[in-house]
Structure 1
Amino acid sequence: MSTIERAEVLVASPGRNFVTLRITTSDGVTGLGDATLNGRELAVASYLRDHVVPLLIGRDPARVEDTWQYLYRGAYWRRGPVTMTAIAAVDTALWDIKGKVAGLPVYQLLGGRSRDGVMVYAHASGNDTAELLDDVARFLDEGYLAVRAQAAVPEVGGTYGVRKGKVYEPAASALPDEQPWSTEAYLDFAPTYLAAVRERFGFGFHLLHDVHHRLSPIEAARFGKAVEDLRLFWMEDPTPAENQEAFRLIRQHTTTPIAVGENLSSIWDVQHLITEQLIDYVRTTVVHAGGITHLRRIFDLAALYQVRTGSHGAGDLSPVSMAAAVHVDLAVPNFGIQEHMGHVDGVDEVFRTGVRFADGMLHPSEEPGLGVEYDDEAAAGFPYEPRYLPVARRLDGSVHDW
């Protein structure tokens, strides 16, 4: 019987920090899992290296579900982003191994294709409305069927989502960047630039917008109502999800669809939101919600309540996670859309992935497993660099939700 012989925690920073778990079996088969928790990477690396890896040696790599339960129930301390990201890395690596042993891409192990490709959305942004419109045009020209639009609020220097380079990367400094925020200015401005996008480009594509937890429930209701005629695909994270009943208030005032869940880590975190139909899209991810095994469980629950998937896919998800996401997206019946931000220069030197973009969709590798390889030699040239996500402060100096 094949057993797990080695598990390595690999940390590299090709433009941004990634933590990768590589599991090797006694038969020489390797599997990769993403263990990146943006801004808290070393917490997961330590959890894996010090507490999980010793438990894996000698285990049967084929027992994916049993290993998931062993790491989750056996730890006693359950849930939370560090624990669930570590479990996700193990789970994803074991699915990668299972696909390689079977000689099949992972999506075939999940039941095969439910669609021909995975529709994705791009990230358009600008320092003003004119720049945003030019960016939207660029992505539409590249063939995207869906675009998220964000623009800097005038005279507020810390607006979320406006990139400075090729790819939006908020974790960019050794200490947190403290950014100003004005809810009032945002509520006045955001509907105007979203309207400008529709006025110039029409309704022949999907338009998305990320509020990024910045509004109170009634403010979010006001925003959703103000943009109803623009037919947003969704407004993302309109208010923090800790108070989930807040979404019922938003529902009472607007028909703009709601997407939530990128920073939630288990089925229990989203159970109420789904079963009460307080959201339209669940944004949990392979890497932060317990891997392929647990993400599929979340998506199956969502399907019962006509909630569709819309997984987070920012640059802090390594190509391992993106490949795993595409395999899951391809198989589940209630797929909605997949975020696709791309990665900064250097990432493709460390990770070789078979995922490709065409006609507004991502397509997985047909190689056995996930179809991703890790280059140790290239990774050695990108040592870890401490980086933090920003902190938002209101104009009076008080800390706000970033």
Structure 2
Amino acid sequence: MKIIDAKVIVCSPGRNFVTLKITTAEGVYGIGDATLNGRELAVVSYLEDYVIPALIGRDAQRIEDIWQYLYRGAYWRRGPIGLTAIAAVDVALWDIKAKQANMPLYQLLGGRSRDRIMVYTHANGKDIDTTLEAVASAQAKGYRAIRVQSGIPGIAKTYGVAKQGDAYEPADADLPSEESWSSEKYLNFVPELFKRVRQEFGDELHLLHDVHHRLSPIEAARLGKALEPCHLFWLEDATPAENQDAFKLIRQHTTTPLAVGEVFNTIHDCRELMQQQLIDYIRTSVVHAGGITAMRRIADLGSLFNVKMGSHGATDLSPVCMGAALHFDYWVPNFGIQEHMAHSPLMESVFTRSYHFEDGFFTPGEKAGHGVDINEAEAAKYPYKRAMLPVARLEDGTLWHW
């Protein structure tokens, strides 16, 4: 199974995606997602200038050896650009191996550990009333778990809240736009938001919330404690995780479950959080944490410390990543939940998929490989358009976490 060709496909059917396609001498090909939101072309260069030339002629069956070759062999390890590129190669090679075996990828990983995969979706609004309407809409579509975000009184634009009538897309400008932030206004508002949601929808609906790294550890502890009566499924990215000891302080003050990790790139980013049992869910994604090969190691470590998988799955990840993630979710023993934001019809005109949603749950499908493919002719109709993520500043102008 010698690799004879590899190429990068960049397209923008509503937002930018980077896809790697690897082809073997036998004519079997696999694809992997290489999208790094707001920094897409950096990964393209890494793949085209460094990774692809080193792949040609190698045996596509040696997935582990190629992973080690690209990770250890680069010397400059870790980081989102390198690990996103490695993930694309890894997922494409698993796709090839499963196609060669004529079985869905989850079977190759060891078979399924569950019958269906619970996902959560997003509900947001400009204020509490419109947010409640969004929650009702998501529930009507069958979702059993919903991430709730709302505009905050006194803050003009809030992370996670879409413009009127639009799907939420953070990468919204050719150069970074700027938003204003107030932790005090946010902390005063969010407990009331979730109190209203529970009053409206009762106790059975799973509720999640994303802080997006914007609180200090003691502020995060305060929020977690205030939200305990609303028994969240999880509180996500409560504080920046570079200082992993910060989660000790949060843990001391609240029993609200904690999730973190969508910006993590290797097992080392979450090792201490897991070993010290400071988190309950790890949100690393297939595309940014080194692919399925690396995700299996993260999951195995987490299983030793009661940490469950809750992978990132926003629309900045292509259907290729979603397909691979669902096969991983089907197999992984310590599964928690999978994020799901529906891709637009335009996006799905470029990517075909075998995964299926029904009544709040997904199944990955039985097609050989990970079940997702790209229509290159359609992709060519939508050229890349630079779009960057915004930045946030405090009300006094201080640059803050986004």
TM-score over 0.5 for the alignment? yes
Which residue is 2:125 aligned to?
A: 126
Q: Using the alignment, how far apart are the partners of 1:301 and 1:167 within structure 2?
A: 35
- Map residues 314-329 of structure 1 onto 2, 5 A cutoff: 314-329=314-329
Alignment of 1:3-402 (within 5 A): 3-164=2-163, 165-402=165-402
Q: For residues 291 and 106 of structure 1, do their structure 2 counterparts lie closer, same or farther at Cα, with a shift above 3 Å needed?
A: same
Task: Supply the distance in 2 between the matched residues of 1:344 and 1:176 (Cα, whole angstroms).
Answer: 24
Distance 2:353 2:176 in 1: 31
For 1:32, what is the secondary structure of its paired residue?
strand
C-alpha distance in 1 between matches for 2:354 and 2:14: 20
Amino acid at match of 1:324: A
Q: Which amino acid aligns with 1:27?
A: E
Residue 48 of structure 1 aligns to which amino acid in structure 2? L
Q: TM-score, normalised by structure 1?
A: 0.99
Q: Give the length in aligned residue pairs.
A: 401
Is the contact made by 1:72 and 1:87 (CA closer than 8 Å) also made in structure 2? yes
Residue type of the alignment partner of 1:201:
F
Contact kept, 8 Å, 1:167 with 1:342, in 2: the verdict is no
> For the residues of structure 1 that align with 2:117 and 2:169, how far apart are their CA atoms?
23
Structure 1 contact 264–284 (Cα < 8 Å) conserved: yes
Cα deviation for residue 204 of structure 1 reads 1.2
CA distance in 2, matches of 1:309, 1:357: 19
**What letter corresponds to residue 27 of structure 2 in structure 1?**
G
Paired AA for residue 140 in structure 1:
Q
Return the letter of the residue paired with 1:400: W
Deviations 1:254-305 (A, max 9, x none): 0000000000000011100111101000000100000000011101100010
Q: Which amino acid aligns with 1:377?
A: A
How far apart, in 2, do the equivalents of 1:215 and 1:157 lie? 18
Displacement after TM superposition at 1:345 (Å): 3.9
Q: Please state whether the residue corresponding to 1:346 is helix, strand or coil.
A: helix
CA contact (8 A) 1:261 1:283 kept: yes
Task: Give 1:343 deviation, angstroms.
Answer: 1.6
* 8 Å contact kept, 1:166–1:344: no
| Deviation for aligned residue 1:365 | 1.9
Query: How far apart are residue 389 of structure 1 and its match?
Result: 0.6
Counterpart Cα distance in 2 of 1:174 and 1:362: 35
- Report the residue type matching 2:107 in the other structure: Q
| Separation (CA, whole Å) in 1 of partners of 2:116 and 2:22 | 29
Identity among equivalent positions (%) equals 61
**Alpha carbons of 1:343 and 1:211: their partners in 2 closer, same or farther (altered >3 Å)?**
same
Inter-partner Cα distance in structure 2 for 1:324 and 1:20: 13
Between the aligned partners of 2:244 and 2:167, the Cα distance in structure 1 is: 32
SS at match of 1:328: helix
Amino acid at match of 1:29: V
In structure 2, how many angstroms separate the alpha carbons of the residues matched to 1:152 and 1:195?
16
Paired residue type of 1:232? L
Query: How far apart are residue 167 of structure 1 and its match?
Result: 2.5
Structure 1 residue 206 displacement after superposition? 0.4
Distance in 1 (alpha carbons) for counterparts of 2:325 and 2:87? 12
Query: Secondary structure of the equivalent of 2:270?
Result: helix
Checking the alignment, whether the CA contact within 8 Å between 1:167 and 1:341 is kept in structure 2 is: no
Range 337-346 or range 57-66, more displaced: 337-346
Write out per-residue CA displacement over residues 118-167 of structure 1, whole angstroms, 9 at most, x where no aligned residue: 10001000000000001100111111010000000012012110112442
Post-superposition shift, 1:310? 0.5
Cα RMSD, aligned residues only: 0.7
Q: Distance in 1 between matches of 2:377 and 2:90?
A: 25
2: CA distance, partners of 1:153 / 1:167: 19
SS in 2 for 1:392: strand
- Using the TM superposition, give the Cα deviation of residue 356 of structure 1 relative to its aligned residue in structure 2, in angstroms: 1.1
Supply the distance in 2 between the matched residues of 1:400 and 1:14 (Cα, whole angstroms): 31
Unaligned runs of 5+ in 1: none
Deviation at residue 344 of structure 1 after TM alignment: 3.1
Amino acid paired to 2:268: W
The CA deviation string for residues 18-54 of structure 1, in whole angstroms up to 9 with x for no partner, is: 0000000000001000000000000000000000000
Letter in 2 for 1:118: I
How many angstroms apart in 2 are the aligned matches of 1:210 and 1:318?
21
- Tell me how far apart the structure 1 counterparts of residues 344 and 388 of structure 2 sit (CA, whole Å): 17
